Amino acid sequence: MKLLYDKDDVPNARKLRDDRIKWLKELGAVALSETPLDDEGFLFSYQHSDEHYQRLVADHPNVTDRPEHRQELVRLDHVLQCLKERGINVPTPKTWVIEVGDAPPADLEFPLFVRTPKTSWKRGGTQSRANNLKQLSDEMELLRRTFGWDTPILARRWINVAISGKFMFGDAPQEIRVWIVDQHPVAWSFHYLHVVPSPTGFPPSAVDLRLLADMAAGIGSAFQSRLIVADFVRDRQGSWWFLEAGPGAAAGTAHEHVFKFVADQIRGGYTPLVGDAVGGQFCLVQFCPCISTRLARSMIKLPLNRVSQKHLHASDGTVALPASSIGRSVQPRRFHAAQQQSRSGQ
């Protein structure tokens, strides 16, 4: 399984000061255009359009993500709809989807955060805020003039976000990107690291990380992509809100170690990540309900005084522990194997 990148992305990456292609090359990644057509690989590339991506991988049947898997994650309205249909409830701001020609819904609650299915136009923060119907209609008009007359508008209940620091566009939020590989949350990174190197509110507590991993596991289970990102923001009361999910192959980060760890996992490797205040790995282990707590603890070398029994028994039998809360990092695949063995032995 090769790590792949698209050569045509190189100039854009340079302009955006996005180092991911450089990091991928350091991991041994090769250009898609120089790869034999039947090779297996995972492609990291920008999301230009659905058609562009279909063309890119059309002749490479063994390259993931397949277009239909990436497509599931491109529009926020589709992501929210999919989660709803599957009964996956994660706290997310109430969202009204306003189609072209629709009157504003009668039950709108201001202030609202206004964006399109694919982007907030990088305006974010207070610039995307509408305090009343007039501001909402002005913002919708501006967005539709830029992104197409028939663009649906997503009006989301405003969250008073906790601030991590200042940057040139104002306050940066305490926002975390969770990286989900093969439906399992494996790592997290502070989302505004490129502009706020030492954020307030970081590192998150073990309890916060556990909660984020649990929410991300639910989100990951709804989509087929091999690499998904889910973004969460903390409000001023300390609660976490799911903001959006997207294709991890097109998702940015300034955290080199987290990115390399994630890319390595995609190709089946596992080099433990030494986390820091702004990013780290989750240690995801799955417990069969029939495994005794004692056995589970001994298997992952948990110091008994640090993780309580409830950590070991989530309702779905899945538990995600931040690496910082365990005595020693665990090789997840090896753990799964041990789990299988112990199950068959019981």
Ligand X SMILES: Nc1ncnc2c1ncn2[C@@H]1O[C@H](COP(=O)(O)OP(=O)(O)OP(=O)(O)O)[C@@H](O)[C@H]1O
Pick 79 or 181: Cβ nearer ligand X: 79
- Core vs surface per residue 1-17: b (16+ CB within 10 A) or e: ebbbbbeebeeebeeee
Q: Could you tell me the CA-to-CA distances from 216 to 76, 93, 297, 301 in Å, in that order?
A: 15, 16, 23, 24
CB count, 10 Å around CB of 149?
A: 8
Q: Which whole-number Å values give the CA distances from 105 to 81, 97, 227, in the listed order?
A: 18, 9, 35
Give the containing element (helix H, strand E) for 229: strand 227-234
Residue 31 burial class via C-beta count within 10 angstroms: exposed 0-12, middle 13-18, buried 19 and up: middle
Neighbouring C-beta atoms of residue 162, cutoff 10 Å: 19
CB of 19 to ligand X, least distance (A): 17
Q: From the CB of 175, what's the least distance to ligand X, in Å?
A: 5
Where b means 16+ CB within 10 Å and e means fewer, 308-345 reads eeebbeeeeebbbbbbbbbeebbebeebeebbeebeee
Residue with Cβ nearer ligand X (3 or 245)? 245
Q: How far is the CB of 195 from ligand X (least distance, A)?
A: 11
Contacts of 172 (CB under 8 A, 6+ apart): 163, 164, 165, 166, 192, 195, 196, 199
Q: Which is nearer to ligand X, 208 or 244 (CB)?
A: 244
Which of 93/286 has CB closer to ligand X?
Answer: 93
Q: How far is the CB of 147 from ligand X (least distance, A)?
A: 11
113 with 121: CB under 8 angstroms? no
CB of 122 to ligand X, least distance (A): 6
Give me 121's structure tokens.
Answer: 């136009």
Q: Name the 3-class secondary structure at 194.
A: coil
Smallest gap from Cβ 18 to ligand X, in A, equals: 12
CB of 120 to ligand X, least distance (A): 3
Q: How far is the CB of 128 from ligand X (least distance, A)?
A: 6
Q: Given the complex with ligand X, which of 140 and 161 has the nearer CB atom?
A: 161
Nearer Cβ to ligand X (41/117) = 117
Q: Which residues bind ligand X (CB under 6 A)?
A: 93, 113, 115, 119-120, 122, 124-125, 156, 158-159, 161, 173, 175, 231, 233, 243-244
CB nearer ligand X, residue 139 or residue 231: 231
Q: Using the minimum distance from each CB to ligand X, give the nearer residue, 230 or 285.
A: 230
Q: Rg of the Cα trace of the chain? A: 21
SS3 category, 77: helix
Q: Would you say 202 and 165 are in contact if contact means Cβ atoms under 8 Å apart?
A: no
**What is the amino acid identity at position 228?**
I
60/115 with CB nearer ligand X = 115
Q: How far is the CB of 213 from ligand X (least distance, A)?
A: 20
